[in-house]
Amino acid sequence: MNSIHKSTFSRVESFSLSENFTYRMALWNHATNSRLKPLVARILGFACGAFVALGDFLIHAALSVCKSLIAVSILPFKCCFPIPQDLKLSSSFVHLIYAVRSLFQVAILPFACLLNPDRAYRICEHNRYEEVKIKEMEHALIAQKMDQIKAEFTSKEKTVESQRITLTDLGNKLERSEHSLHQENQTQIEKIKNLQNENDHLKDKIRNLKNNLPEIHSDESHENEIIANFQQQLQESNERCASIQEKSSKLIQMSMN
């Protein structure tokens, strides 16, 4: 874009008496308020066209020579400071081209104005065509850049939308995970409470057993005494039975004898 702007001609380089003159003749040629203006435009253009083109030739030739001398004189200082566009050597060649073209228009422009003032204006408007083309190129580049920016914006918008959907899904998953973790945490807390209650119950049982341990020892000793007495009585009864059997056997033998 900057290179396009720099390539345009300056006001001095694009100066044209022929263009201004033929532009006025073209306006008169399209005048609707008077029928004489189109005729006057053709006659005046034929009479003055050569002199106007000759004026352009003299002006651009003089500017070409002057700018050539100035450009050559300041050429050694080019590396020290920037030189304006109108003082560069290329500007003198621009004026030289306009001078040569104006020289041809000296012979062509009167007849062009006589036949068709509009076409005469178009012939002198060559530099305007270049500016229009440059502007069209600029607009095309701007439109292309805008399309590129729109495409990038659309792509980024789609990317942001997909990321938003992904973040929403992750948020839902995180919420479900937090809910499940909360439920598991509550379950574990209830289990821990139950275990603590069982532990407390067992501690109470152990404490009761420890408190009742002397009574259990005393009951066991009493039972042992009872069992020992019972065994002693059983032994005594067995001895009595044995003595009775001996006596009965002796009595049987004595009766048989």
Tell me the DSSP string of 190-228.
HHHHHHHHHHHHHHHHHHHHHHHHHHHHHHHHHHHHHHH
Q: Where residue 3 falls among pLDDT bands split at 50, 70, 90?
A: very low
Whether residue 20 contacts residue 109, with contact meaning beta carbons closer than 8 Å, is answered with: no
CA–CA dist 83, 94 (Å, integer): 16
Q: Which range among 119-133, 196-210, 211-225 shows the weakest confidence by mean pLDDT? A: 211-225
Phi (first) and psi of residue 54, to 5 degrees: -65, -40
For 8, the 3-state DSSP assignment is coil
Whether residue 60 contacts residue 95, with contact meaning beta carbons closer than 8 Å, is answered with: yes
Cα Rg of the chain (Å, integer): 64
Distance of CA 188 to the CA centre of its chain: 45
Element (H, E) at 45: helix 36-74
User: Is the model's pLDDT at 186 over the cut of 80?
Assistant: no
Whether residue 59 contacts residue 103, with contact meaning beta carbons closer than 8 Å, is answered with: no
pTM of the model as a whole: 0.46
* Tokens 């500007």 belong to residue: 91
User: Is the model's pLDDT at 191 over the cut of 50?
Assistant: yes
User: Is the model's pLDDT at 116 over the cut of 60?
Assistant: yes
Q: Which range among 29-38, 72-81, 90-99, 109-118 shows the weakest confidence by mean pLDDT? A: 72-81
Residue 141 is predicted with a pLDDT of: 59
| Helix axis angle, 117-124 to 17-29, nearest 10° | 150
Whether residue 98 contacts residue 42, with contact meaning beta carbons closer than 8 Å, is answered with: no
> CA–CA distance from 91 to each of 8, 76, 98 (Å)?
11, 17, 11
Mean pLDDT of 201-230: 66
* Tokens 């044209």 belong to residue: 16
- To 5 degrees, how large is the angle CA 158–CA 163–CA 168? 125
User: Is the model's pLDDT at 200 over the cut of 70?
Assistant: yes
Q: Which range among 115-119, 146-150, 172-176, 214-218 shows the weakest confidence by mean pLDDT? A: 214-218
Phi (first) and psi of residue 106, to 5 degrees: -55, -40
Mean pLDDT of 139-163: 79
